[in-house]
Amino acid sequence: MDMFNAITHSQIYVLDQDEALDFYVGKLGLEVNADVDLGFMRWLTVSVPGHPERQILLERPGPPAMSEETAQQVRELVTKGATGGSLIFSTDDCRKTYDTLLGLGVEFTEEPTDRPYGIDCGLRDPFGNNIRFTQPKT
């Protein structure tokens, strides 16, 4: 018997959830699954269109998960790209996706590159999180 049957949510830290929506939905083309004010936090999730079974929680560091002092330290680490938060997406055409996002003003850390597993490239979101997308070899 398998104990689990899916990963439903992953989490990354963002410093401003409205700015995160502009980036992840407005530029990367993801869709909002949930945007709920829970009182103690805003539960904001996005996913690849048509694939709500795997959602990304765009979480702002702060209470109740951590003290304000710890949250400030986490925000500094996010800005440096040092929280370990990363996302990897797949695409059917890495170079076309790269050109589209470049035209939308997305800043890349690495241009599309041929790898043993396919073509991929790298970028960072406005907060420092690492993002890659890959066109897997067929």
Over the stretch 104-113, which tens digit does the pLDDT of each residue have? 999 999 999 9
Count of structural domains within the chain: 1
The pairing of strands 31-37 and 86-90 is: unpaired
CA distances from 82 to 25, 75, 88 (A): 23, 10, 17
Residue 97 within a domain: yes
Over the stretch 48-67, which tens digit does the pLDDT of each residue have? 999 999 999 999 999 888 99
Residue 35 within a domain: yes
The CATH code of the domain that includes 38 is: 3.10.180.10
DSSP string for 65-125? TS-HHHHHHHHHHHHTT-S--EEEEE-S-HHHHHHHHHHTTPPEEEEEEEETTEEEEEEE-
Question: What pLDDT was estimated at residue 65?
Answer: 85
Residue 3 within a domain: no
The model carries a pTM of 0.92
Residue 2 within a domain: no
pLDDT of 1 higher than 80:
no
